[in-house]
Structures are given as C-alpha cells and as structure tokens.
Chains A and B, each alone.
Chain A
C-alpha cells in the first residue's frame, strides 16, 4: 500500500450555540489513499458537510489535525447546490478556477471545452445558469471542479437534488471521469446505493457528534452496472451500511 494522500487525525469541532456548545464532530480519524473513492454516509446533522468544509480549509477544527501529502493540495469542490455564478455562462463558470490561477483565457477556454465534452454539455457553452436544468448545472459544477486538475475532489451530495434517472446517469459519468482522470474523491451522500455504486470505501458517521462508526471496504467488481444491486453481495453490504446508519 502506498502513502495516504490524506491523513485525518482526531478531528473535533464544536460550534458556539445559544445554549452552550454544539459538538458537531468528535475525534474523527481516517486516511485516504491516492486515487481512492471514499463515500461518507451519516444521518442529517452528523457533520458531513462540516468535515468537507474543514478539509477545504473553509473552517478551522477545534482540535485535531489533517494533512495532505505533499503540502497544500489543489481542491476541486462540488457543493450540495450547483453553486454557479449566475452572471457567467456555463463555459465561463468552468474556467473560473483557471482564471484564479492566472491562466491565459485561451488556455482556459480550450480546457473548458474538453470538459464540456467530457460531461456531455456540447452546445450549452454560452448558456446562462438560469437556462440550465438541475442536472446540467450540476455537470457544469463537476466540470468546474475538475478543470484545474485538483489533487482531491470534495463532493457534498452532488446529486442530491436530481431525479432518480438523472442521478444514476450521473453516477456512471462520475465513475468514468474518476477512472479516466485518476482522481482521489471524498464524497458525501445520503444514499446507500449511490455509495455502493461509486465507492472503494464507505465511512459511516454516527448521530451528532459525528464519530466514525463503520469503515467499510466495497469490494464489488468494476465497472458496476445496474444489475449489481440484485446480487447477494450488494445486498449484504447494503444491510451492513443500513444497520450502521440506524
């Protein structure tokens, strides 16, 4: 086994609250290997989004630490809502990370065009976000998270707002992207089947304060197809997760 790309050690966070303190995460520890796809499951309020926000340095933990191998990584983040800038076209939203890194516009546009093809949005380059469907907007957000070639993808329920059909199509697209682009992914989800469809490993958090309750390897063969969910092994893993979530 290689060195982990991310090491999280005893991470805890408490928020000031009206009646004292709100303990959101409690001594969370885990590691992630390079190119691993890890899903985080847990009840609402267990601190999943908080965990991602800490790892993206948007929030300081109260105690504990985390470190990325090789210094501060480039992060590609997909938020629960697509979180596009309404004054930028689909293409301009995708180029944003490169603009921030100071790339020339023509380079940024060429790369954005590749990603438009990858997520299947040809023809919508100059659409405003208001004219995109939820699934299309989410794909723009995924392309935006990939364009600057990040070391790690932090995805917060990226498909939560999509209908079942689109969601399953997006699973396939995401696992293609993940395989082709060799990314490390940490993805929060509410859906057991989503996590089993995508992940190498699933972490289950407890009720607040979030603690790691289960760290489950998903040894289902890839590529994973829809029929997989009727296999006995899938059913066994799903039951294990379900029991852990409670």
Chain B
C-alpha cells in the first residue's frame, strides 16, 4: 500500500506492487510466526498465523464470515451511495451559488467539527441497532470529503469552456452532462476513493457500538469470547474489503479517465 497515493486524491497507483512489497509482507508474517511461537504469549493475546488461518477456514465453512461480510458490505455501499448522492447534490448547489454557500457553510463547518465516532452511540440509540443507523454513520462520514471534492471540481471547470457552451446556446442540462460532470470527474472520483475507505470505518464504528451482525460485531464477539483469532479474521477481512473498494474506484478512474495523461504512463 502506497500511503502517499492513498492520500492524494488525483493520482492512482497503476503498477502492481513491487517484489519488495511482497518480500516485506513475507517478513512480517515470519516475524509474527516467530513471536507467537517463541515469546510465550497466550493465544488470546497473540494467536499464531496458522491459528488465524484455521479460524478463518472455520468461519468460512460455517457461513458466518460470509454473513457478516455481506452485512458490512451492504452498510458500506448503501452509506457510500447515500453520502455521495447527498454530497454531490449539495456540492453542486454550493459551487453554483455564492449565496447558498454562505447560507450553509457555517453549518457544514460545524458538523465537520463533530467527531462522528463520538456521536455514533447517539445515532444507534435514536435509530436502533439495525442497518439504518450504520448506513447513516457511513453516509455522514463519506459526506464531507465528497462534498469538498465536488465543490473543488465544479469550481475548477474552465470559464473558457463555459463560454464555449454558452456560445453554442447549450441548455443547463447539456452544460451539466457535457461539461461540468466530465470536467469535475477526476476530482469527484478522488473524493469517492477516500469516501469508500472512510465508509468501511463508519460501518465498523456503528457495528462496534451496537449491532447483531457485521464484521465489527464479529470483532466484539471474538473479544468477548477470548477468541482473538476471530478478531484477527474480522480485521483482515475488513482490510481486504477496504482495499477491494479502493481498487474498484481506482479501476473506475482508469476506465473513465483514460484521456488523462497520468493513466498512460
């Protein structure tokens, strides 16, 4: 994982990981194996890699892993969708109207100061331990970065291209789908890529606070039963989920933004 690339919304890693990345992962695995076998730690503190693998296999076979992964994935995707739709709509309005921006920006800044993690229990109390509260948390956490990127993307549409569209008597709708959407797509997808990873965090936070399914719930179960191997399984599955979503958005970027030079080299 290249963190510089993760944090930079306009670039996507293109090449597959270098062999040194694999070597480093193998070394970490070996280190883990050595510590778990020779440091004399009990399994509920640090399970050995093969114990985690066995636990993984068990959860896979009895169907529980699939159940909880599906639950989390559903929350993540619905939250991402809801948050993105809301953020793009509001972001578009903000980018278009200074007055609207001045009206809503104090509230936006204020909401941004609320740590979502801290109000997650409140949301679960209000909206119940079901899927809705999780989707809401995901949507809230996705909302701001996508909103900011939408505004930045829309504002960055060159005035000269707006002039071109107006000189051709384009309608509002034509300007939106022929100019504003394609022009701001790179920045927008960058926001979506950040949002996708954040949405996974949102779902887990919600599940940890209160739920009866999901990978966050699985973490709680494993902890409660001193089944630390299960906690590892859940955490690794979450990492895989986040990476898969990240990869999916990166794939979308490469498909949709082939006209950008950065994706050619």
Does the CB pair A100–B183 fall under 8 Å? Answer: no
Please encode chain A, from 81 to 92, with 1 for each CB lying within 8 Å of some chain B CB and 0 for all others. 101011110000
The verdict on A97 contacting chain B, using a C-beta distance below 8 Å, is yes
Does the CB pair B164–A83 fall under 8 Å? Answer: yes
Interface stretch of the complex, out of A12-20, A53-61, A192-200, A218-226: A53-61
The verdict on B126 contacting chain A, using a C-beta distance below 8 Å, is no
CB neighbours of A86 from chain B (8 A): 259-260
- Residue of B168, B169, B182, B185 most packed against chain A (CB within 10 A): B168
A81 and B259 contact, Cβ closer than 8 Å, known pairs A58-B167, A100-B168:
no
The verdict on A239 contacting chain B, using a C-beta distance below 8 Å, is no
Taken together as a complex, chains A and B put the C-alpha atoms of A46 and B170 apart, in Å, by: 29
The closest CB in chain B to the CB of A154 belongs to B167
Please encode chain A, from 133 to 174, with 1 for each CB lying within 8 Å of some chain B CB and 0 for all others. 000000000000000100000100000000000000000000
The verdict on A214 contacting chain B, using a C-beta distance below 8 Å, is no
Complex A-B: 13 CB contacts under 8 Å = A53-B163, A56-B166, A57-B166, A81-B160, A83-B161, A87-B183, A87-B185, A87-B257, A99-B178, A100-B170, A128-B259, A130-B259, A154-B167
CB neighbours of B179 from chain A (8 A): 85
Taken together as a complex, chains A and B put the C-alpha atoms of A168 and B167 apart, in Å, by: 27
A85 and B182 contact, Cβ closer than 8 Å, known pairs A53-B163, A79-B160:
yes
Interface hits, A188-246 → B, CB 8 Å: none
Taken together as a complex, chains A and B put the C-alpha atoms of A83 and B160 apart, in Å, by: 7
Does the CB pair B161–A85 fall under 8 Å? Answer: yes
Contact of B164 among A79, A87, A129, A148 (CB under 8 A): A79
Taken together as a complex, chains A and B put the C-alpha atoms of A85 and B182 apart, in Å, by: 9
The closest CB in chain A to the CB of B182 belongs to A87
The verdict on B261 contacting chain A, using a C-beta distance below 8 Å, is yes
The verdict on B89 contacting chain A, using a C-beta distance below 8 Å, is no
Taken together as a complex, chains A and B put the C-alpha atoms of A97 and B168 apart, in Å, by: 6
The verdict on B111 contacting chain A, using a C-beta distance below 8 Å, is no
Please encode chain B, from 27 to 46, with 1 for each CB lying within 8 Å of some chain A CB and 0 for all others. 00000000000000000000
The closest CB in chain B to the CB of A79 belongs to B160
CB neighbours of A88 from chain B (8 A): 259
B27 to chain A, nearest CB (A): 41
The closest CB in chain B to the CB of A53 belongs to B163
Known: A100-B178, A154-B167. 8 other contacts (CB 8 A): A53-B163, A81-B160, A85-B182, A86-B259, A88-B259, A96-B168, A100-B168, A100-B169
